[in-house]
Structure formats: structure tokens, C-alpha cells
Amino acid sequence: MELIYYIDLLGTMVFAISGAMAAMRHNIDIFGAAFTGFVTAIGGGSLRDIFLNLRPVWVDDGNYLLAILTGVIIAILFKKVLGKLARTLSLFDALGIGFFTVVGVQKSLAFESSGIAAVVLGLFSAVMGGVTRDTLLNETPLIFRKEIYATACLSGAALFVLLNRIGVDYNLNAFISAAVISVVRILAVKYKLTLPIVGG
């Protein structure tokens, strides 16, 4: 459990970095960067918790806000270096969405959502921070227009619910499902895999 908690803090920090960096690509002041980092980091989990009628974890545990503050400061201080590490950051992001999706599904099931709602709430945990970030920055949400991203989360979330129902060991299941998400995402970036466009 301890380990999960620290991974959660670390993941929150990484999301804050990505949010602040996205904001800095706009003509935005320090506060705007910090705010966007904050929203990106807590948006997904907060929405999940609100739908579950719970208080988001950061309201009670100040460490999450400290992790975000650290992430924002790192983003501002090391902007140039981080800008060159796009590939590494993308890898971290792939690991992050795997982790956050599975944690989100687990929490939803623990608070007795339906199985299909747990899949949706797992997806939300991973991607809604980014959606809010893009909406704030007045951009079409990234998840609508780049390589397979949300779909990876959705597949892994569904897999977790399925394996859970047929009785696969909880920790093994979490590991497998998170790995599926991260690997699908990494392959999608590497080979530029996209979903069919249905519009136009």
C-alpha cells in the first residue's frame, strides 16, 4: 500500500509537469502555468470522486498539493531541458495513464459502482485532467485527435473488470491491466496508430 501511495504522488507530480508545460506553450503567466498544472493533475481523480460522491483525496491529504507544487516548479525551472525530453515524458505519461486507470477502476468498484461505470470512471481518472487542461487552454481536447490514448485506457479498464469478475488475483490483475494500457499506448505512439475518423 505504501508503495502505491508514493507512485500516486509521483504520478500526480508528472501530470502537474505536463499541465504546466502545456500552459507555457501559450502566452501565460506563472500563475496560469501553476493553475493549469494543478487542474491537469487533480482533474481526473476529482471528477471520479465527485461522481462516487466522495471528497477528492487532495482535499484531505495536503501531500498531493505539495506534489503538484513541486511538479509546477520543476516545469518552470527546467522548461528547456524537459522540452527536449519529449520521448521520456511520453513514456512516463504512458505508465501514468496505466496506473491511474487501474487505480480509478479499483476505487470505483470498492465504492460499489456498476462494472461498466467502473470502466468509465477508470478512463475518467486517467484522461479528464488532460481534457480540462485542453478546454481551459481553448484547444480541442488532445484525446479527440491524437494516436490511440483513451481507447487504451478503456481497454485496460474493461480487462480489469473482466479478469476481476472471473476471479483473477487482484494484484496480478492490476499489473496486467495497467501493463496492457501502457504497452498499447507506447506502441500507438511508436507506430502512429490512430482510430478511424468517423466525422467530416
Chain residues that interact with its own copies, rule: CB under 8 A: 23-33, 35, 38, 46, 50-56, 58-62, 65-66, 76, 79, 108, 112-117, 120-121, 131, 135-141, 143-145, 150-151, 154, 194-200
- Going by C-alpha positions, the residue among 85, 66, 67, 64 that lies closest to residue 21 is 85
Q: What cell numbers appear for 174 in the block?
A: 492490476
Q: Smallest distance, Å, CB 108 to its own copies?
A: 8
Q: Nearer Cβ to its own copies, position 141 or 168?
A: 141
Q: Smallest distance, Å, CB 121 to its own copies?
A: 7
Q: Is the dihedral of CA 82, 83, 84, 86 positive or negative?
A: positive
Q: Round to whole Å and give the CA distance between 146 and 100.
A: 20
Q: Nearer Cβ to its own copies, position 169 or 198?
A: 198
Q: Nearer Cβ to its own copies, position 85 or 172?
A: 85
Q: What dihedral do alpha carbons 179, 184, 189, 192 form, nearest 10°?
A: 170
Q: What cell numbers appear for 119 in the block?
A: 470502466
- Going by C-alpha positions, the residue among 158, 161, 159, 150 that lies closest to residue 124 is 150
- C-alpha Rg value of the chain to the nearest Å: 16
Q: Smallest distance, Å, CB 85 to its own copies?
A: 18
Q: Smallest distance, Å, CB 48 to its own copies?
A: 10
Q: Nearer Cβ to its own copies, position 62 or 167?
A: 62
Q: Smallest distance, Å, CB 137 to its own copies?
A: 7
Q: Nearer Cβ to its own copies, position 81 or 198?
A: 198
Q: How far is residue 1 from each of residues 27, 29, 103, measured CA to CA in Å?
A: 41, 38, 12
